[in-house]
Amino acid sequence: MSSPEEPLIANSRLAEANHDDTDFADDGGDLDVPGKQPEDLSPGLFIWLLTFSAGISGLLFGYDTGVISATLVSLGTSLSDRLLTPLDKSIITSSTSLAALVVSPFASVLADALGRKRVIVLADLLFIAGALTQALSVTVSAMVVGRAVVGLAVGAASFVVPLYIAELAPAAHRGRLVTMTVVCITLGQVVAYVVGWGFGEYGDARTAWRWMVGLGAVPAAVQLGILFGMPETPRWLVKVGRSAQAREVVERVSGRRTGSARRAEATLKSIEIEVREEEQARRLRSRRANGRARWLDPWFELLGVRRNRRALAIACLLQGLQQLCGFNSLMYFSATIFTMLGFLIPTLTSLVVAITNFAFTLVALFLIDRVGRRRIMLWSIPFMVAGLLLAAYGFSFIKLSSSSMTDVPTEVPAAQGAAVIILISIMTYVAGYAIGLGNVPWMQSELFALNVRSLGSGIATATNWGANFVIGLTFLLLMEALTPTGTFVLYAAICVVGYGLIWSFYPETAGLSLEEAATLLEDDNWGLR
């Protein structure tokens, strides 16, 4: 079903861009400075401020997903006057990802209709409502509702914030800036773990968990305030016909460096060319569609055009793998696992998971644009496999009592040596994850052409949450059914399959403009570069 005009349009766009804009593309013109490489260039204060404010959403995403680990071991009998079963815990945990999954396709429709920024505002309101509902809940179902409302917020924010940053950032810095969001997510998880440990150890046992979950409302309120001074993205503004405003934003983003006026002009022009040509292509296609409903157009463009289909396949593969590799079972249940292994202060031990994840995401921040997305993934996944297999081996020395999955610490003392092996192997696995799979999938928007970028990123984000839901719901049950060793071997096998798929299908997009990255997938050798 791929339409014959598509490659022509893309080629003419590149030809036009190459003709009069050779020195800017989407890199903000930075490459036209003689003797300078992209790495030498700093993104400018405005971009950093934008990223920082947008990153608060990441912080919230991280806080709300991370806080569940300590919450689960602190709830005791405060919900519905009983101890929680493994199924209760699984449902409380995974309701967040289920709600995030449900909202992600709508987030893309809203982001196109209302603009990227308004969706971030909406997400903040939901973050506040969800945090308060959880803090005040007295039954398991009320807690599930609160977690689900937070899930709606996380789902919307996880889709729109990377899109917002990718559309504002110059190409030479895009990878690093999108990774900043993931840094904020992982920082949020560290904060959640520290809060969890602090309240768990030193707070009033009956109310500690209410503070843990309720505190999530604070950064959301702060961000609401900051958002008033933030701009909409120039790409969205051009798309809805507000080019004058788009020009102002592009000028602010370009800063006051020499030649920035010319760069701003050129950047705006390339966006306008892309929007115009995609509009033409869309009109051509809907003329051929013979009365088909208009809302179906983006779907036909996404699935009917070869390069878009390829982009979607890759984005969903990466997002699915990011979750199915099992990382979030550690994020959600590490306190439960370390309780089971007999560690004295499990919430403190589990801080290791969050801190390793955060520290290696920082390492990724410095490596990603230099090493490239594809290469960084191929280098890091083997460490994940090694870590998982070693953990599986460590678990084979540990006998679990039937009570080990509940709040009651195991009566069978875990073998100390094995517990240490497990801790080290988990750290290796988490480090490998944080360097590659933890952040590369969020660079999804650079794979898609503008006309399908929102929808494509929305579906890929939904894949992430769908897989996250499966992992959250099944981890404790798998630990019982397959044993911990079997569960970790299963995750290792998923990583190996993922490695093969990435090797075969994922091209390098580092350093390309959004327009060039989308065009790359038209190439017949799209997988191997």
Ligand X SMILES: O[C@H]1[C@H](O)[C@@H](O)[C@H](O)[C@@H](O)[C@H]1O
Positions in the binding site for ligand X (CB under 6 A): 65, 182, 185-186, 189, 322, 328, 331, 357, 438-439, 442, 468
Query: How far apart are the C-alpha atoms of 354 and 349, rounded to whole Å?
Result: 10
Distances (CA, A) of 138 to 63, 91, 146, 206: 21, 16, 11, 12
- Output the smallest distance, CB 201 to ligand X, in A: 23
Pick the closest to residue 92 from 476, 519, 412 (CA basis): 476
Distances (CA, A) of 404 to 8, 47, 82: 62, 48, 17
- Output the smallest distance, CB 468 to ligand X, in A: 6
- Output the smallest distance, CB 271 to ligand X, in A: 28
Query: How far apart are the C-alpha atoms of 170 and 29, rounded to whole Å?
Result: 9
Nearer of residues 410 and 444 to ligand X, judged by Cβ? 444
Query: How far apart are the C-alpha atoms of 253 and 234, rounded to whole Å?
Result: 10
Query: How far apart are the C-alpha atoms of 261 and 113, rounded to whole Å?
Result: 30
- Output the smallest distance, CB 80 to ligand X, in A: 28
C-beta neighbour count of 140 within 10 angstroms:
18
- Output the smallest distance, CB 467 to ligand X, in A: 9
Nearer of residues 170 and 438 to ligand X, judged by Cβ? 438
Nearer of residues 65 and 104 to ligand X, judged by Cβ? 65
Nearer of residues 96 and 137 to ligand X, judged by Cβ? 96
Q: Residue 215 has what DSSP assignment?
A: T
Nearer of residues 328 and 406 to ligand X, judged by Cβ? 328
- Output the smallest distance, CB 244 to ligand X, in A: 36
Question: Which amino acid does the sequence have at 161?
Answer: V
C-beta neighbour count of 154 within 10 angstroms:
31
C-beta neighbour count of 60 within 10 angstroms:
31
Nearer of residues 67 and 414 to ligand X, judged by Cβ? 67
Query: How far apart are the C-alpha atoms of 167 and 448, rounded to whole Å?
Result: 12
**Nearest residue to ligand X, using CB?**
438
- Output the smallest distance, CB 438 to ligand X, in A: 3
Query: How far apart are the C-alpha atoms of 477 and 311, rounded to whole Å?
Result: 34
Pair 196, 347: CB distance under 8 Å: yes
- Output the smallest distance, CB 194 to ligand X, in A: 15
- Output the smallest distance, CB 140 to ligand X, in A: 23
- Output the smallest distance, CB 496 to ligand X, in A: 20
Per the rule left: phi > 0, alpha: psi between -120 and 50, beta: everything else, 25 is left
Q: Is the dihedral of CA 105, 109, 110, 112 positive or negative?
A: positive
Nearer of residues 140 and 178 to ligand X, judged by Cβ? 178
Nearer of residues 9 and 315 to ligand X, judged by Cβ? 315
Query: How far apart are the C-alpha atoms of 14 and 270, rounded to whole Å?
Result: 9
Nearer of residues 128 and 353 to ligand X, judged by Cβ? 353
Q: What is the 3-state secondary structure (H, E, C) of 161-185?
A: HHHHHHHHCCHHHHHHHHHHHHHHH
Using alpha carbons only, give the angle 256, 268, 243 rounded to the nearest 5 degrees: 105
Nearer of residues 25 and 377 to ligand X, judged by Cβ? 377
- Output the smallest distance, CB 158 to ligand X, in A: 7
Nearer of residues 186 and 451 to ligand X, judged by Cβ? 186
- Output the smallest distance, CB 97 to ligand X, in A: 9
Nearer of residues 17 and 68 to ligand X, judged by Cβ? 68
Distances (CA, A) of 186 to 192, 307, 321, 523: 10, 32, 18, 35
Pick the closest to residue 495 from 420, 401, 349, 392 (CA basis): 392
